[in-house]
Amino acid sequence: MALLAALLATVLCLSSQIKAQLVVGFYNSRCPRAESIIWEEVLKAFLKDKGIAPGLVRAHFHDCFVRGCDGSLFIDSTPTNVAEKDGPPNGITLRGLEVVDNAKARLEAECKGVVSCADILAYAASDSVVITGGRGWGVPAGRRDGRISRAAETIDIPGPFQNLDQITQAFAKKNMTQDEMIALSGAHTIGRSHCTSFSNRLYDFSPANSQDPSLDRFLAALLKIQCPQGPQGDVDPNLVVPMNRSPALFENSYYRDILAHRVVLTSDQTLITSPESLSEVREYAFNEREWQEDFADAMVKMSQIEVLTGTAGEIRSNCRVINP
């Protein structure tokens, strides 16, 4: 009997270790001011530039989808390695990473070698949602930083020209469901997009239609003014437009915009191309609270994809370079 109990306890303990690798409040004893230092840096930067909030939320997604949430997104390219940062979905579209550098510098001064870059980003993403009016979540922490960052692996990040099946597949590869993908796509309620992420919908859609028929005509007309074609028919790769009419407010208007065909990305509009996904979009369009809760739950799950814990990886001292 005692043997059985001991066995059971071991099994329970092992399985809980596997499940709860990360814990909320991880730094409470290790570096008590960590969470507040990160919050201060996010807030300070946000007051100067509202764009850093969407930037940090997206950065967390891009970090997690490539080799797990291991801070590999921050690593700079070197003469012998092209890093994630310089992969196709990143490059000039990334923003807000300097906030993590600033927080890291203060955290190294406060408690050297304790707080990982991957964790800083996970907190900063939650803070960014709170700052823009969304519902935060208890951030599970204890991630360690990876030592590998390869541009080629950014292929795992879904792209703006993909359809529902392709995007669902990309999430399935990370053990995330289509429902969770739809909830997370609501992050596009904040931020901006470069014109080149959707200009095919305005000028070059298909042999039959130069303009995407699933894009509202009035929005298309506006976007053509904001994203004009140059003499060669190309669109300036530096031009950007807001994702929607309230790009600094974390609310569910994104889903009503999809229903009205007023979203810029094909990958957003595609969310209503199956009966099941359409019904979830409708649900979120009219139930703000349900979406905020599902979004937070899905972020907690996404933030634990393939994390390094314990003695794996390292605590990078500079988020941009792996430790010597």
Ligand X SMILES: *[C@@H]1O[C@H](CO)[C@@H](O)[C@H](O)[C@H]1NC(C)=O
- Residue ranges for the binding site for substrate? 158
Q: Write the binding mask 8 to 47 for ligand HEM: x where contact by CB under 6 A, - elsewhere.
A: ----------------------------------------
Cβ of residue 175: shortest distance to ligand X, in angstroms?
A: 4
Q: Match 């990982």 to its residue by tokens.
A: 116
Q: Interaction with ligand HEM in 77-116: which residues (CB under 6 A)? A: 93, 95
DSSP state for residue 283 in the 8-state scheme = H
Q: Which does 142 bind (CB under 5 to 8 A by kind): ligand X, ligand HEM, none?
A: none
> Which listed residue (60, 62, 194, 261) is catalytic?
62
Nearest-angstrom CA–CA distance, 151 and 153: 5
Nearest-angstrom CA–CA distance, 97 and 54: 11
Clarify whether 62 is annotated catalytic: yes
Report the candidate in 181, 233, 157, 156 with the shortest Cα–Cα distance to residue 202. Answer: 233
Cβ contacts of 159 within 8 Å, gap of 6 or more: 89, 267
Residue type at 305? Answer: I
Q: Match 């994630």 to its residue by tokens.
A: 84
Cβ of residue 106: shortest distance to ligand HEM, in angstroms?
A: 23
The token duo for 290 is 């349900």
Nearest-angstrom CA–CA distance, 215 and 272: 13
**List 50, 147, 174, 301, residue binding ligand X (CB under 6 A):** 174
At residue 321, φ and ψ (nearest 5 deg) are: -135, 140
Cβ of residue 171: shortest distance to ligand HEM, in angstroms?
A: 7
DSSP state for residue 315 in the 8-state scheme = -
| CB 133, CB 124: distance < 8 Å | no
- The piece of 31-39, 75-83, 134-142, 187-195 that touches ligand HEM (CB under 6 A) is 187-195
Q: Which does 174 bind (CB under 5 to 8 A by kind): ligand X, ligand HEM, none?
A: ligand X
Q: Which does 175 bind (CB under 5 to 8 A by kind): ligand X, ligand HEM, none?
A: ligand X
Report the candidate in 245, 30, 35, 265 with the shortest Cα–Cα distance to residue 137. Answer: 35
Q: Match 């409470």 to its residue by tokens.
A: 28
| CB 241, CB 223: distance < 8 Å | yes
**List 58, 67, 144, 262, residue binding ligand HEM (CB under 6 A):** 58
Q: Write the binding mask 294 to 323 for ligand X: x where contact by CB under 6 A, - elsewhere.
A: -----------xx-----------------
Q: How many residues bind ligand HEM (CB under 6 A)?
A: 26
Closer to ligand X by Cβ: residue 50 or 174: 174
Q: Match 């995007």 to its residue by tokens.
A: 167
Binding interface with ligand HEM (CB under 6 A): 51, 54-55, 57-58, 61, 93, 95, 158-160, 162, 167, 181, 184-185, 187-188, 190-194, 197, 265, 267
* Residues annotated catalytic, as ranges: 62
Binding interface with ligand X (CB under 6 A): 174-175, 305-306
